[in-house]
Amino acid sequence: MPVSNCPPEHCADLIRSASRVVTLTGAGISTSAGVPDFRGPQGLYVTRRYDPEKVFEIGGFRREPRYFYEFSRDFVGLVRDVQPTFSHHFLARLDRLNKLAGVVTQNIDMLHQQAGSRKVIELHGSYYAARCLGCGRDCRELDYRWWETAMQLSSTPPVARCESCDGVLKPDIVFFGEMVKGFEAAEALVGGCDLLLVLGSSLQVAPASWLPHATDASIVVVNRGQVALPRSSGRYSVDSDLDDYFRKVADCLGMR
């Protein structure tokens, strides 16, 4: 796609004329909040600080959950207190104005919910919930309290364990080897939109990368770097910092 062909005022016009905006978000919307990405130039997969096969593969987790929980200890400690970005709040504002039909996200950080977005489909899950692999008990709390409780009670830290049976807790996160969550609902949501905003995603990871092909509506992609979406009429691309760009869009819409 072209480097940039959608100035903020044109994006504002597209939003103004739309009645069902849907957003697909990737790591780029959260990096300015301090959440590390996985596949970027300094991402966790590139730096090899964590071994993906040991940490994020479901068979590896079942064999030895310690590797995932060592990552989680660092990740949760970092993101637990971060705040949503301007772009997260901009989307939540569109939601309150009944412009936003929903958010589909590849992120596991729950910042969309914290910003106030009401309909969020988390394709890769999140730390919002966990299930005990022993007794099947569910833990669900938005602000990581289940995590803190489990870590306090764990008999083998840093592995989080169930307070009922001491079984290993598996956070509601999609590991390699598992199906993504809510894809059919996401596909239907995108298919029914009249404007799709793709924010902070290079569209290189399936099945999220398939979603823009589920709609004939206009698409605006805002991302740093190349995006794997063929050029076509009605598709716009912006290589820009998300927060800077949407501050300008918000000004055009009179939302600041």
pLDDT at 38: 59
- Fold identical between 1-35+84-124+179-256 and 36-81+126-173? no
Nearest residue to 35 (alpha-carbon basis) of 131, 100, 118, 114: 114
Give the span between the Cα atoms of 253 and 42, in whole angstroms.
Answer: 35
Q: Residue 99: what pLDDT?
A: 96
CATH topology for 36-81+126-173?
Answer: SIR2/SIRT2 'Small Domain' (3.30.1600)
Q: Give pLDDT, residue 252.
A: 97
At 47 the pLDDT is 46
- Domain extent listing, the chain: 1-35+84-124+179-256, 36-81+126-173
Residue 196 contacts residue 169 (beta carbons within 8 Å): no
Helix, strand or coil, per DSSP, at residue 25? strand
Structure confidence at residue 76 (pLDDT)? 73
Give the residues across from 198 on adjacent strands.
Answer: 24, 221
- Confidence (pTM): 0.88
pLDDT given for residue 114 in this prediction: 92
pLDDT of residue 199: 97
The pLDDT of residue 153: 62
- Give CA separation, 75 vs 4, 129, 199, 206, 211, in Å: 33, 16, 22, 23, 28
What are the catalytic residues?
A: 124
Given this structure, which CATH class describes domain 1-35+84-124+179-256?
Answer: alpha beta
Q: From first to last of its 256 residues, what are the pLDDT tens digits of the chain?
A: 545 689 999 999 999 999 999 999 999 999 888 877 655 554 454 444 667 778 889 999 999 999 888 888 777 777 777 899 999 999 999 999 999 999 999 998 889 999 999 999 999 998 888 889 999 988 775 456 666 676 666 667 788 888 888 889 898 899 989 999 999 999 999 999 999 999 999 999 899 999 999 999 999 999 998 888 988 889 999 999 999 999 999 999 998 7
